[in-house]
Amino acid sequence: MVPANPLSQRSQILLAGIETGVMGGLLMMAWLGLVSLLYGRTVWHPANLIATTFYGDEALRRGFRWATLSGLSLHVVVCVTIAILFGFLVNRISGRRQVLLLGLAVGVGWYLLGFAFFWRLLNPVVLEYRPSQAMFVAHLLFGVCLGSLPGYREALQRAGIGPAIAIAAAPLALAEVPEVEPPPLPAEVEAASGEAPAGHTAGE
């Protein structure tokens, strides 16, 4: 079997940050999609709104479109980036409650700074359509996900090997074939090998 190579500390933080960011980003979108339905829009409206960064007002058409994926991807990438930075920030903090409080603080801070600077510079259209209370709750949910980052990291430590390493090692592990005994000789060969001693005895 292929030995399990423990992940470095930096790799653990990166992988845990990716998991946390993806989960947090999708949770935010799920909440905002639900709120969007209450406002009489489609569940894809939040992603389409972010997609206006690339496609302009054309992305605001109702329903799921290919542009929706671009908005969702941008949102998840931003969340993953924040989660990775947060992971390095709380690397030496062992208290779960402290990490959770810091996660909530970062979620609220991103809500304030994101709409004050990031989206104002990148895509002001997002500022025109955002429901403030629902967006604030979404960022609180993201903060809760950030607070769970140590749990993802501990899971990686218990596993002892990262998902990417495990996938890369799987073909090598499957390629190992246990030793087996050689197959028996065909019946014709056994018969020929048994006739030689008999003929030698007869000649004597």
- How many domains would you assign to the chain? 1
pLDDT of 19-41, one tens digit each? 999 999 999 999 999 999 998 88
Residue 87: domain span: 9-171
Question: Does residue 124 sit within a domain?
Answer: yes
Nearest residue to 35 via CA among 142, 134, 169, 160:
134
> How many other CB atoms are there within 10 angstroms of residue 63's CB atom?
10
pLDDT of 68-123, one tens digit each? 999 999 999 999 999 999 999 998 888 889 999 999 999 999 999 999 999 999 99
Question: Does residue 112 sit within a domain?
Answer: yes
pLDDT of 145-167, one tens digit each? 999 998 888 888 787 654 444 44
Q: Given a cut of 90, is residue 130 above it in pLDDT?
A: no
pLDDT of 43-63, one tens digit each? 999 999 999 999 998 888 878
Question: Does residue 114 sit within a domain?
Answer: yes
Question: Does residue 183 sit within a domain?
Answer: no
Question: Does residue 116 sit within a domain?
Answer: yes
Cβ contact 7:158 at 8 Å: no
Question: Does residue 1 sit within a domain?
Answer: no
| 129 CB-contact burial (10 Å; exposed 0-12 / middle 13-18 / buried 19+) | middle
Question: Does residue 44 sit within a domain?
Answer: yes
Nearest residue to 71 via CA among 126, 13, 10:
126
Question: Does residue 204 sit within a domain?
Answer: no
The number of C-alpha atoms within 13 Å of 152 and in the hemisphere containing its C-beta is 26
Q: Which pair of tokens denotes residue 187?
A: 């019946």
Q: Which pair of tokens denotes residue 94?
A: 């062992």
